[in-house]
Amino acid sequence: MPWWDLRSLSCFGIFRERMREIQLGSHTVRSHGVTVARTHMHDWWILMLLVLIEIILYKIHPFYRFVGKDMMTDLKYPLKSNTVPVWAVPIYSILLPIAIFLVVYFRRRDVYDLHHAILGLFYSVLVTAVITDAIKDAVGRPRPDFFWRCFPDGKDVYDMLGNVICHGDKNVIKEGHKSFPSGHTSWSFAGLGFLSLYLSGKVQVFDRRGHVAKLCIVFLPLLVASLVGVSRVDDYWHHWQDVFAGGLLGLTVATFCYLQFFAPPYHPEGWGPYAYFQVLESSRASTIAVNTSSAQAVEPQVDDKQDGRSIHGCMGISLAPPSSGSTSNDIESGRR
């Protein structure tokens, strides 16, 4: 076999290995992490902006709604501590899903899946947090335990218009005007709702094979988020409407953010991100183009070999045989 044929075969081998690498999803953080991060650099900058906005919304004072004496009937529930502390919310709504994303990454070696899952999760939680705190500050609805926040000694005081004159701790009173919607619930459904969608795509829960046990995996994060919402009502920190609105808000934002990077769970390609299939398709197209060009380059070489031509392996220059005219002249001269 000529050395140029060996060269063509080596090219085929390289592209075959690359194709196999993509099909197995072996895009690691080391090989493609920087490229993926640069592609979504503006998304990360916007994410930092959302963090800043969330801090500002948390610091500013909410709207101090008019609270009359006749309204205190529904606001005299006891002041209790949180069953689910504030510091625990980012742990189960952000860190827990990221840990599961990492487990999937070490199994599939797909940096597109890891990056898009983390970015989508952050956007789901932060967009939900900004919307939640913006509504909290604008509405200023009193919490069910507002009476004891405003009057810790139990002695209520009102002005000439019938509005409360609070004499409790300022920070406690400020927090008492942030009932609607529930932040714990919205964060929980934003993070765990995103995780539920992610898991439903990975286990292909809607593959029409009847494995209903897969639904347990999908419903478990939603159950945890629902129990967090129930605890907010049990602790008298929120009315049931606050919890319902917070859960609906978080789950809606999580769905929108998930669909930005992944196909719906019922889709045949719902187990991977859009970027993975785009890279796979472009690689297939480039491989087909290389194979076609290589095949077109090999065919003339075979024809030239059959015609008895001498081919230069490096430059592709062929030395043509003598023309038919010169051959006939030699024959005639021989006859003469």
Active site residues: 184, 238
Contact between 193 and 254 under an 8 Å Cβ cutoff? The reply is yes
Residues 207/232, Cβ–Cβ less than 8 Å:
no
Question: In terms of C-beta distances under 8 Å and separation of at least 24 residues, what long-range contacts does 2-11 make, across chains too?
Answer: 2/301, 2/313, 3/313, 4/301, 4/311, 4/313, 5/298, 5/301, 8/294, 8/297, 8/298, 11/290, 11/294
DSSP E strand stretches across the chain: 310-311, 318-319
Count of Cβ atoms closer than 10 Å to residue 324 Cβ: 8
| DSSP, res 158 | B
CA distance 70 to 145: 15
How far apart are alpha carbons 235 and 233 in whole angstroms?
Answer: 5
Q: Which amino acid is at 121?
A: L
What value does the CA radius of gyration of the chain take, rounded to a whole number of Å? Answer: 34
What is the spatial distance between Cα 26 and Cα 330, in angstroms, rounded to a whole number? 65
Q: Show the 3-state SS of 246-293.
A: HHHHHHHHHHHHHHHHECCCCCCCCCCEHHHHHHHHHHHHHHHHHHHH
Helix 240-261 with 111-139: angle, nearest 10 deg: 150
